[in-house]
Amino acid sequence: MAQPSYIPSVAPVFDWIDAHREEAVADLQRFCRQPSVAAQDWGMHDMAALVTDALTGLGATTQVTPTPGYAVVVGRFAGMTERRLAFYNHYDVQPPEPLDAWTSPPFAAEIRDGWLYARGVADNKGNLVARLWALRAWQATHHLLPCQVTFLIEGEEEIGSPHLGKFAAAHQDLVQADACLWEAGYRNAQGSLECYAGVKGILYVELQAKGAAHDLHSSYAPLAPNAAWRLVAALQSLRDSTGRVRIPHFYDAVRPPTPEEQALIARSPINISALLQQWQITHSVGGDGSPAQLTERLLYEPTCTICGIWGGYTGAGSKTVLPATVSAKIDFRLVPDQDPETILTNLQVYLQEQGFPDITVHTVADAAYPAQSLIDTPLMAALVRSARQVYQNEPLVLPRIAGTGPMYSLCQRFGIPAIGGAGVGYIGSRTHAPDEHIRLDDFFLGMKHIAALLAEFAQFP
């Protein structure tokens, strides 16, 4: 079938969106009020049902595929053309802790001064709901979508997508598309979207030190082991004083940016000073640099992060105890072509060699490979043109983001170009942190952006 030369105007779609803001926000609150914390097995089944119901309600052919963890929900929509665009999204969210740092409860979806606060509203429910409502607006206005659309919505992104790869391999017919739009997007301090065609990988482990068989009175400290000192020493051995990871061969497979990638970075560096302002710090770790240098560091430097540490007495006041067990959660953010499995092995060998054979290492979430898609693709062109139209400014195009996702297992290995950057978050959204929020104006613009993107993608293959 030839591509039709005419795709109806997006203007009435925008009008419909403007006329239905309140219903869309109420729907977003409904999504946000349903907890869905995969790490804590909290509300996941109900959330999957809510997503499935929303897709079916819009007329999608919906398939819910169970996994050993949480189901993958797929919804397929017909279109005016044979072009097929996939949307990758997830219905799980990060754990809401620490709860007492939230101004309103994380699943209350409270609106204050035009901002909606909820765990997951920026990552990723706001994007999911905006995409659903963009489709609804097209349907209400022109009946058919400009192109075919497949929603691929998993429930395990925040725990490392352990079953998505196997699902994709077993259901290539469902996954197949001309291109895939990734889950999230954030406006920077200048209001521009930041677009990308790659993600970092991740390895997430828990390290544990053991002392005596049980906690001891700390007066025994001259003779008895202390798991806290032991873990502190092991952790300190993982990085040098500049933060460089000391595990052998850690950097061997790191692919430096190509000249083309460096040109993109030089043209559209991330506004790092705005980030520092958000974080209320004056200097970045690892030293200062030009915006392009700092952007390159953010996107191309693999890291080792202590995400959490705990052990011994952590209550009020004082307790004099030698902790028997102390643990830390560690993530390694990896860049192409680092292999998480090789790094896990090297970590274990390294701890042995450094004199820490007693420190246990186990993986908490499944690892993700880093991915780098082609950058110069029709979807990226459509993303940029539609962003100019809706946001009235120039989006940034960068080779990749510093975040992680299953881009390799869902797209790259099947040759599907994956592009991200369309979304309803902004630089201050506090993703993964207390008081996560979006600005509702970004939510409405995000809907329009997706509506315009469908038309652009359908018209310019």
The rounded radius of gyration (Å) of the Cα atoms in the chain is 23
Least distance between its own copies and beta carbon 70 (Å) = 12
Q: Is 104 in the site for its own copies (CB under 8 A)?
A: no
199 class by beta-carbon count within 10 Å (0-12 exposed, 13-18 middle, 19+ buried): buried
Judged by CB under 8 A, the residue of 190, 219, 258, 352 near its own copies is 219
Does position 311 bind its own copies by CB under 8 A? yes
Closer residue to its own copies in complex, CB, 8/286: 286
CA distance 281 to 351: 33
**Of the candidate residues 68, 114, 317, 415, the single one contacting its own copies (CB under 8 A):** 317
417 binds its own copies (CB under 8 A): no
* Least distance (Å) between residue 88 CB and its own copies: 17
- Burial pattern 354-366, b for ≥16 Cβ within 10 A else e, equals eebeebeeeeebb
Helix axes 126-142, 21-33, angle to 10 degrees: 140
Write the interaction track for its own copies spanning residues 386-405; mark x where CB under 8 A is met and - where it is not.
---------------xxxx-
Structure tokens at 343: 């790094």
Rounded to a whole number of angstroms, the minimum distance from the CB of residue 244 to its own copies is 11
- Return all residues near 346 (Cβ < 8 A) that are at least 6 apart: 247, 248, 249, 250
The count of residues in the chain is: 461
Which one of the spans 57-65, 248-256, 302-310, 370-378 is the region binding its own copies (CB under 8 A)? Answer: 302-310
Q: For tokens 């043209």, what's the residue? A: 267
Is residue 255 involved in binding its own copies (CB under 8 A)?
Answer: no
Question: Is residue 298 part of the contact set for its own copies (CB under 8 A)?
Answer: yes
Q: What is the DSSP letter of 162?
A: T
Among 3-11, 111-119, 156-164, 343-351, which window interacts with its own copies (CB under 8 A)?
A: 156-164
Q: Which of 253, 309, 374, 381 touches its own copies (CB under 8 A)?
A: 309
Residues 184-203 that bind its own copies (CB under 8 A): 200, 202
Residue of 109, 147, 168, 326 interacting with its own copies (CB under 8 A): 326
Q: Which of 12, 20, 64, 97 binds its own copies (CB under 8 A)?
A: 97
Contact segment (CB under 8 A) with its own copies among 4-12, 274-282, 375-383, 437-445 equals: 274-282
Burial-class residue 434 by CB neighbours within 10 Å (0-12, 13-18, 19+). Answer: middle
Kindly report the number of other CB atoms within 10 A of residue 413's CB atom: 14
Three-class SS state of 50: helix
Sole binder of its own copies in the list 61, 191, 313, 349 (CB under 8 A): 313
Asked if residue 297 lies in contact with residue 286, where contact means CB atoms within 8 angstroms, the answer is: yes
Binds its own copies (CB under 8 A): choice among 149, 216, 379, 458? 216
Site for its own copies in 358-377 (CB under 8 A): 364-365
Determine the interface stretch with its own copies among 51-59, 139-147, 271-279, 449-457 (rule: CB under 8 A): 271-279
Query: By CB under 8 A, which span of 56-64, 105-113, 141-149, 214-222 interacts with its own copies?
Result: 214-222
Question: From the CB of residue 299, how many other CB atoms can be counted at a distance below 10 Å?
Answer: 20
Query: What tokens appear for 133 in the block?
Result: 């409502």
Residue nearer to its own copies on the CB measure, 164 or 326: 326
226 binds its own copies (CB under 8 A): yes
Pick the binder of its own copies from 38, 149, 375, 410 (CB under 8 A): 38
Q: What are phi and psi of 173, to 5 degrees?
A: -60, -40
Burial of 12 (0-12, 13-18, 19+ CB in 10 A): middle
We find the least distance from the C-beta atom of residue 152 to its own copies, in angstroms, to be: 22
Q: How many CB atoms lie within 10 A of CB 391?
A: 18
* Of 364, 363, 345, the residue nearest 353 (C-alpha): 345
Q: How many residues bind its own copies (CB under 8 A)?
A: 92
